[in-house]
Amino acid sequence: MNRFLFVLVSLVLAACQPSGSGTSAPAAGSGPPPAIGVRTEAVVAREWVDEIEALGTAQANESVTISAKVTETVARVNFEDGDQVRGGAILVELTGRAEVAQLKEAQAAFEETEKQLQRLQDLVQQGTVTRSAVDTQIAARDQARARREAIRARLSDRVITAPFAGVLGFRQVSEGTLLTPGTAIATLDDVETIKLDFTVPERFLGVIGVDEEIRATTAAFPAIDFTGVVRSIDSRVDPITRSVVLRAHIANQERKLKPGMLLTVRLQGFKRETLTIDEIGLLQLGRQAFVYRVDADSKAQRADVQIGSRRDGRVEIISGLAAGDVIVTDGVVKLRPGMAIKNLDMEPGATAAAKPEQTGS
């Protein structure tokens, strides 16, 4: 039985021997791991312009709600919805028959005091009346004039005019409506120029300023870039959001923009030289950002970096890299620190393999 087992084991061992040479194959994994194929780029300094993006709300250059100053009935409405009016145009006339009658009475009283004063002045020259009588008549004349002007002022309150040129909104009254002080008649907006208020983080205060050009777009007209200029910067920074409000003016002769519209604002900061990389080579883990830098032995080493702004697929590198460093851009997800890499762009035949695809053959 023992001899049978010995023979069986011998046969199994003989079957496991490789054919040919009597030497055994090297054990798996005894050599270095293969290099990982990646693509790289050299870090260089290039011109960089920060593009700041924000949301803003359009406002009219001038805006007011037209209302009455007195309690009176509407006698006549002289406008329609959406009319363009000039400054001083009469919009609404209120009933004012009593004031008109009072004005006629006050005008007659004023003219009478004027005539009396003239007669007394003639008599003073003749020496038949005293100077004090003339002074008394002058005071009466002035009182009559003041009463006339007061009635004229009350009467003018019954004629409601446009304080400036602009576009009227919907009419809120009709003839016969009883108006009271504060009752809305219509809105009036000057939209030849649009004021656009938007907020930016306080860190951009050093790179933006008055007269900076802005571009704005809106969902209503996505193909149009509205250009404007920053006119003022708020005097305070919001202590909660750490942002500041900027106001830009946009020419709006075609009246495409309306007050209340939401616009996306873009403006550029100062130009500067900075290090940038392709953003596909950047890895982020929580608040940490890093890249794989290629060392002299063609191995990937992790390099922690501090990043700045992003634009057009590029990322600004504030610290962690130097000009001339080579980093991995394509293939970073396969890497671990210390892994050997090979640059696929430098592989023989890489260019030749691409030519048929480019020519379509």
Please report which confidence band the pLDDT of residue 99 belongs to, taking 50, 70 and 90 as the band edges: low
Answer yes or no: is pLDDT of 17 > 70.
no
Provide the pLDDT for residue 250.
Answer: 95
Q: Give CA separation, 355 vs 292, 343, 350, 360, in Å.
A: 30, 19, 9, 8
Q: Whole-model pTM?
A: 0.58
Answer yes or no: is pLDDT of 270 > 80.
no
Q: What's the rounded mean pLDDT across residues 90-103?
A: 72
Q: Which residue has the higher pLDDT, 160 or 19?
A: 160
Q: Which residue has the higher pLDDT, 64 or 99?
A: 64
pLDDT tens for residues 127-169?
677 777 777 878 878 887 887 777 666 666 778 889 999 999 9
Provide the pLDDT for residue 310.
Answer: 82
Kindly report which listed range (12-21, 58-67, 69-78, 238-247) carries the lowest average pLDDT score. 12-21
Please report which confidence band the pLDDT of residue 97 belongs to, taking 50, 70 and 90 as the band edges: low
Provide the pLDDT for residue 9.
Answer: 43
Provide the pLDDT for residue 348.
Answer: 52
Q: Domains along the chain?
A: 36-48+273-348 (2.40.420.20), 52-61+190-271 (2.40.30.170), 69-92+160-181 (no CATH), 96-157 (1.10.287.470)
Give the rounded percent of residues in the chain with a pLDDT score beyond 70: 82
Question: Reduced to 3 states, what is the DSSP secondary structure of residue 187?
Answer: strand
Query: 């709300």: which residue's tokens?
Result: 57
Answer yes or no: is pLDDT of 25 > 80.
no
Strand order in the sheet with 90-94: 159-161, 90-94, 72-77, 178-179
Question: Reduced to 3 states, what is the DSSP secondary structure of residue 61?
Answer: strand
Provide the pLDDT for residue 104.
Answer: 72
Please report which confidence band the pLDDT of residue 354 belongs to, taking 50, 70 and 90 as the band edges: very low
pLDDT tens for residues 163-217?
999 999 999 999 988 888 888 999 999 999 999 999 998 888 877 888 888 999 9
Provide the pLDDT for residue 154.
Answer: 66
Please report which confidence band the pLDDT of residue 350 belongs to, taking 50, 70 and 90 as the band edges: very low
Provide the pLDDT for residue 246.
Answer: 93
Beta strands in the chain (DSSP E): 36-42, 44-67, 72-77, 84-85, 90-94, 159-161, 166-168, 178-179, 184-201, 213-218, 221-233, 243-251, 262-278, 283-285, 288-294, 300-311, 314-319, 326-330, 341-343
Provide the pLDDT for residue 347.
Answer: 57
How would DSSP label each residue in 308-341? EEEETTEEEEEES--TT-EEEEESGGG--TT-BE
Answer yes or no: is pLDDT of 264 > 90.
yes
Provide the pLDDT for residue 194.
Answer: 94
Kindly report which listed range (122-136, 271-285, 299-313) carries the lowest average pLDDT score. 122-136
Provide the pLDDT for residue 199.
Answer: 92
Give the sign of the dihedral formed by CA 224, CA 229, CA 235, CA 239: positive
Provide the pLDDT for residue 143.
Answer: 82
Q: Which residue has the higher pLDDT, 61 or 342?
A: 61
